[in-house]
Structure 1
Amino acid sequence: MPKLLKATPRSLLLLLLLMITAPGMAACRSESEIPSTTPTADFTDHGDGTVTHQSTGLMWMKCPLGQSGVDCATGISHTYTWEGALQAADATTYAGYSDWRLPNKNELSSILERRCSGPAINATVFPGIPHSYSFYFWSSSPYAHGSGNAWLVDFGDGGNYRAYRYDSRHVRLVRSGQ
């Protein structure tokens, strides 16, 4: 006979929290509820792993560093310290361009999809969502009130946060479009 587990108040609370939060994960509200902040039509896909955001003129790598392919299914998203992310950006040549850089926090926030969460990004345009609990991406913006910190964008909830520069985070690169 199988052994039954005893339900404790804590285990019941955890189960309830999972039931409440799980349906909202990786979900977008319909366009009729909240208009899209980064509709697919606002991006030009160049067919080489890059897209240009028409409203900002910025060209983005569709996949985080470490991933490639049409749906970013090849490889895994690498994580870097802040200094490592800046160096990786300087060393990257991709799609015939060598002027890739780490975006500042406002540029990185410009591709947030505000009607979505977990991830808070247009997954059609940017399919490379890290297969981990972390949706944090470094920006090039240092944190003014602490020299050991820099800004990052959380593509899980759409927030901007500071983090220690020695923490490991994901990277999505940008370049000024022509």
Structure 2
Amino acid sequence: MPFHEKLGRCLPALLMTVLLTACNPELEDGDSTPGGSTPGAAIPDCDDPDGSVPGDTVPGDGEEALIQLNDTGVNQCQDHRVLSDHSDNSYVCFTAGASETEDGIDHEGDLVPGGQDATIGRDSAALKGSLIKVGHGDAGFDFSKIGPDGNVLPLASADWDCVRDNHTGLMWETKTVVAGDIRSLGNTYSWYSSDATTNGGYVGTEIFGACVGIAGCDTEKYVSAINEAGLCSFHDWRMPSRAELLGIVNFGEVGPAIDETFFSHNGTGIYWSADTHASSIDNAWYLEFNRGSSYVAPKSQYYKIRLVRTVF
């Protein structure tokens, strides 16, 4: 890789490493959860074949967080039919000879164009067996199950409360199917925030969902209740940005478009984000997990919530 490209690729992450180490020496050894280690502010390998770009910026609930971005989860390439009686096919790209820069040919003689999503990035590296993960996950995703004490659990664990994304540095709430549980999948909440710095200029609708376990079914009260309870021994949970929600969507799957090994009680429902629509402030963005599509709706609507917190 030319030096100027390598510098542009690495500079954001190198700056993040210096800042994090200077401001919080505890991150030097990567230990940022109670009793468990997480990837810290390690200097990146700029020639890493996983194709990720260090230091991508994703907005998060009123502030900007410097994080890595997940890949899409798409790990197959599509062909172009040469003859009308040929089938439309999906292929593991490199088995058809397709790569980031080269076209391939499938078994019917149809063109498999190179440069498709599945030829680039973490998903491609995972398929080839060259992607090193801290935990596990579909395609290029790298997740770990987290127990109530904040510690990492084995993959085979049948009971966990949170999921840590080892690539983005985010930790996610998991839902339950237990009747009466505050985190029950069936609970819904209206969008409400009294914080003028994050509500986009309109507070939304207070207490207009249908839930159990808390006094008031809106997003602000749910965040407060989860932080008071100390989910997974943490008290800094927040609403996710739309971009953060999109980061756990597996676009290679449908119904639900998410890794069910870790988000087993996700469902295909609609989840609120923290983001207000820029030109229509009485609306907020949400994401549906059937296909991973994102739209806006009035803040008076009542949808599900999946909270997030920043680990590193």
Q: Which has the higher strand share?
A: 1
Distance change >3 Å, CA 62–CA 145, structure 1 → 2? same
Corresponding position of 1:56: 168
Q: Which one-letter code corresponds to 2:178 in the other structure?
A: T
Letter in 2 for 1:39: D
Report the structure number with the largest CA radius of gyration.
Answer: 2
For residue 88 of structure 1, what is the aligned residue in structure 2?
222
2:143 to 43, 65, 68: 43
**2:244 aligned to 103, 107, 114, which one?**
107
Q: CA deviation at 1:61?
A: 1.1
1:47 CA drift (Å): 3.0
CA contact (8 A) 1:90 1:99 kept: no
Distance in 1 between the 2:270 and 2:75 partners?
25
Measured after TM superposition, the shift of residue 145 of structure 1 is 1.3
In the other structure, the counterpart of 2:188 is 79
- Residues 143 and 151 of structure 1 are in contact (CA less than 8 Å); yes or no, is this contact kept in structure 2? yes
1:66-91 deviations in Å (ceiling 9; x for gaps): x2xxxxx3234211001111331132
How far apart, in 1, do the equivalents of 2:304 and 2:224 lie?
A: 16
SS state of the match for residue 224, structure 2?
helix
Partner of 2:261: 124
Distance verdict in 2 for CA 1:114–1:97, change over 3 Å: same
Q: Which runs of 5+ in 2 are unaligned?
A: 1-72, 77-90, 93-117, 127-136, 149-160, 193-217
Q: Percent identity?
A: 29
Structure with bigger RCO (C-alpha 8 Å, 6+ apart): 1
CA RMSD of superposed structures (Å) = 2.5
Higher mean displacement: 37-46 or 165-174: 37-46
Q: Secondary structure at the match of 1:103?
A: coil
Q: How many residues align?
A: 140
Partner of residue 234 from structure 2, selected from 84, 91, 97: 97
Q: Is the 8 A contact 1:86 1:140 kept in 2?
A: no
